[in-house]
């Protein structure tokens, strides 16, 4: 797919961006150009120590902000594919800095869409979050708006050979801001703060997240919101997996948090299909019907009233399974204390 093609990753210095770059360079040695677009020059410098332009001549580091549409247009010259990972993501920070999240997550997404239409980009995959489904916090609301923008862009792209799709998934174990690294740091104190003992979250590995994004880049028809089939875990089980001897202290839910996360709501079920390894939420105004889409992709429609919720998910990770994942994906020397 990417042989002799050019790809740009917005927010390319983040956890997923770095994992994507590593996998793409391994899988597509003949990629023409791989552009890491982000606003943090220090992170780009650190990343260039690993993926240097000397060792990987196809790699380029492009400083810019998705709030700047002119900079985006310049960066997208000669680009075939885009993975949009740039976003502000911290839930509490969004509650107290709403306009900043709106400028980046919503207006920045609109800038990217316009810039892609003004250049010769062929395909865009935007990264979303489980918090965008039935959002109750500002962060989730901005990502839902972003999702809607990318889905709607397929309707006004005109005759351009261009499609937009979205990948929506849960927490990435070990990513910046996730609960596992936080508990790993706090366990030395002998006390782990729990916002609510009932709280559950979806979990996806960096590897599976990368695989899903590349799959969507290759297989999207335009307008889908792809959702992975992934396990859930109890936050208390994560705490016990990391430090069974620590005291768990209930500190209350933070601003904008949910007890359980949702990726497909009951209302979404009318437009959702099962693709086997993934679900897809289709747009209401899809150029082709759901039945036609199922015929093309060998998908099946989900039952009316279906929802995909981290609390009712039949697939839950045990404490021991969480320990194995932490050792595999976060810290190979990890031992519970």
CB-count exposure of residue 185 (10 Å: 0-12, 13-18, 19+): exposed
Nearest to 241 by CA among 174, 180, 185: 180
Question: How crowded is residue 91: how many other Cβ atoms within 10 Å of its Cβ?
Answer: 20
Write out the two tokens for 122.
Answer: 């062929």
How far apart CA 139 and CA 132 sit, in angstroms, is 8
How far apart CA 116 and CA 86 sit, in angstroms, is 15
Write out the two tokens for 139.
Answer: 């962060």
- Choosing from 18, 43, 89, 131, the catalytic residue is 131
- b/e 154-175 (16+ beta carbons within 10 angstroms → b): beebeeeebbbbbbbbbbbbbb
Provide φ and ψ at 226, rounded to 5°: -85, 140
Q: Compute and round to an integer the Cα radius of gyration of the chain.
A: 20
Respond yes or no: is residue 131 known to be catalytic.
yes
- b/e 116-151 (16+ beta carbons within 10 angstroms → b): bbebebebbbbbbbbbbbbbebbbbbbbbbbbbbbb
In total, the chain counts a number of residues equal to: 337
Q: What is the DSSP annotation of 217-280?
A: HHH--SS-EEEE---EEEHHHHHHHH-TTSEEEE--PPTT--SS-EEE-TGGGGGEEE-SSEEE
How far apart CA 192 and CA 13 sit, in angstroms, is 30
Active-site positions read 131
């Amino acid at each position: 797919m990417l042989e002799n093609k050019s790809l740009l990753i917005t927010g390319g210095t983040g956890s997923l961006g770095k994992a994507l770059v590593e996998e793409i360079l391994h899988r597509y040695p003949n990629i023409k150009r791989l552009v890491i677009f982000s606003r943090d020059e220090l992170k780009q410098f650190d990343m260039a120590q690993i993926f240097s332009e000397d060792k990987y001549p196809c790699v380029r580091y492009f400083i810019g902000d998705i709030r700047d549409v002119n900079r985006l247009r310049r960066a997208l010259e000669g680009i075939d594919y885009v993975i949009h990972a740039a976003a502000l993501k911290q839930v509490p920070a969004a509650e107290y800095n709403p306009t900043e999240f709106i400028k980046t997550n919503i207006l920045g997404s609109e800038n990217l869409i316009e810039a892609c239409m003004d250049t010769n980009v062929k395909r865009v995959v935007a990264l979303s979050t489980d918090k965008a489904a039935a959002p109750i916090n500002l962060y989730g609301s901005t990502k839902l708006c972003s999702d809607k923008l990318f889905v709607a862009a397929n309707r006004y792209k005109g005759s351009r050979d261009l499609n937009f799709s979205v990948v929506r998934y849960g927490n990435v174990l070990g990513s910046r801001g996730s609960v596992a690294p936080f508990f790993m740091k706090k366990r030395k104190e002998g006390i782990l703060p729990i916002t609510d003992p009932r709280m559950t979250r979806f979990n996806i590995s960096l590897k599976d997240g990368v695989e899903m994004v590349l799959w969507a880049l290759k297989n999207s028809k335009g307008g889908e919101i792809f959702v992975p089939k992934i396990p859930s875990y109890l936050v208390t089980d994560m705490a016990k997996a990391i430090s069974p001897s620590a005291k768990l202290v209930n500190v209350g839910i933070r601003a904008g948090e949910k007890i359980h996360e949702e990726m497909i709501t009951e209302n979404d079920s009318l437009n959702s299909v099962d693709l086997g390894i993934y679900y897809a939420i289709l747009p209401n105004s899809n150029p082709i019907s759901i039945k036609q889409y199922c015929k093309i992709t060998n998908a099946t429609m989900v039952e009316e009233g279906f929802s995909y919720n981290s609390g009712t998910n039949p697939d839950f990770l045990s404490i021991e399974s969480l320990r194995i994942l932490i050792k595999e994906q976060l810290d190979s020397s990890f031992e519970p204390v």
